[in-house]
Amino acid sequence: MSIHPIETRYRTPDMANLFTEEAKLQGWLTVEAALAEAHAILGTFSKEIADEIRAKATIEKVKLTRVKQIEKEIQHDLMAMVRALTEVCSKEAGKYIHLGATSYDIEDTAMALQLSRAIDVLAKSVKEFLRVLTNQAEMHRDHACVGRTHGQHALPTTYGMRFAVWAAEFARHLDRLQAAKGRIAVGKMSGAVGTMASFQGKGRKIQQEVMRILKLTPVLIANQVVQRDRHAEVLCVLSLIAASCDKVARELRILQRNEIAETFEPFTQTQVGSSTMPQKRNPHKLERVCSLARVVKANSWVALENISLEDERDLTNSASERVIFGESFVILDYMISEIIRIVKNLEFNEKNIQRNLNLTGGAILAENIMVELVNRGIGRQDAHEILRQAAIASREENKSFKEVIAENNIILSKMTKEELDHLLDPRNYLGEAREQVDAVVEYLKKNYLS
């Protein structure tokens, strides 16, 4: 019977399969096989023994049920694997399994393989979302809408700009993932406190060979564990990605409010919004993304706490790491898959977008008029005050901003009403928004999406 929602609800198969108990066991066995091969290369024992250990180091031969049975007896999961592998090998090969290694030589090296693969899966998802955002930026290049700062109408912008800003952010996340992968894809084979004493003078060569076989980088130095700043960095990168998903989802939730109602997450014909209010169209998928982001971000704090282990190591990182890595990767990959579907199929209400553009009766174009008044000889501060007073009058007199400034003699002495109409058209005050979107789309397609 499942307990955690990622077992049944918040998961993608590609990511979840990396964190199953079977996958973890196979990771350990793979490292044990590489250790045996390295020993054989350096002459500790024969190649035939290493070949046998490799052939038996699979979850088809070493059953998870047997490992769990042994663990229940001896209370040590890694040693349970070692005993189970020894059982399926010949007596001669069994003598050499796990030779010279400590538990975390196996566990940390296997974790490096696991997290490297998880980063690859996650990077694929991030890249797909980047593609969706880039396509939306290109498609909505000319789609004017009201921009808001502090929750207030500010200036016209475009939906293309919004998507391009988000796309550039997720491109940076791809860079961060690759950098973090380079620092987590490391392994060790250095014994109980890192001195390599148990390898009897072959330690550095053993470590080098094992990592060559596994296509990992040997750590520069370690004690009993690979230092946890590496793992914390990975979790912090995941938290950054989760925070960006949260940001996109939050903005789209705001835009779905009844008072704004510009965009909507997909909603099927048979979907129910509320158990008691039939009219509701809740952005529950976006809210789910925001909710799960809190879990991923919180886990990064646990990873940071795990850095400060005592002396050559203690076990205070162990139990929490059984939770935070799988949970964070699985949840985040699910979040991205959700937000991809939402943004790809986002619905736009053009009527409401235009309504909101004109809601203040032209006040969002005050800056445009101010700049033009300066061009025509009025001081910048004087022009600013004229338009500030006009905005106040518009609110107090319940008139549109356009009506108020059309009655201002100073403004009318500098421009005609036709020129004023042109300045009050939101489509005429988008600056270089289109060109910026074009530049972002071109850059992302060339450097990330080719």
Would you name the residues annotated as active-site residues?
150, 274
Q: Which residues of the chain have pLDDT under 70?
A: 268-280
Rounded distance between C-alpha atoms, residue 44 and residue 199, angstroms: 10
> Which single residue is written with the structure tokens 């998870």?
64
Q: Where are the domains of the chain?
A: 5-139+150-264+281-353, 363-423
Check the CA dihedral 297-301-302-304 and report its sign: positive
The Cα 330–Cα 17 span in angstroms is 9
**pLDDT at 281 (0 to 100):** 80
Name 348's bridge partners.
263
The continuous run of DSSP H or E covering 153 comes out as: strand 152-158
What's 365's DSSP letter? Answer: G
CATH of domain 5-139+150-264+281-353: 1.20.200.10
Which pLDDT belongs to residue 2? 82
Dist CA 327 CA 318 (whole Å): 15
Report yes or no on whether pTM surpasses 0.85.
yes
DSSP code at position 422: H
Q: Which two tokens stand for residue 387?
A: 């338009």
Length of the chain, in residues:
450
- The three-point CA angle 347-353-357 to 5° equals 160
Q: Which two tokens stand for residue 5?
A: 């929602």
Q: Where are the alpha helices (DSSP H) in 95-158?
A: 103-139
At residue 274, the pLDDT reads 62
pLDDT at 358: 93
Neighbour-count burial of 435, counting CB atoms closer than 10 A to its CB (0-12 exposed, 13-18 middle, 19+ buried): exposed
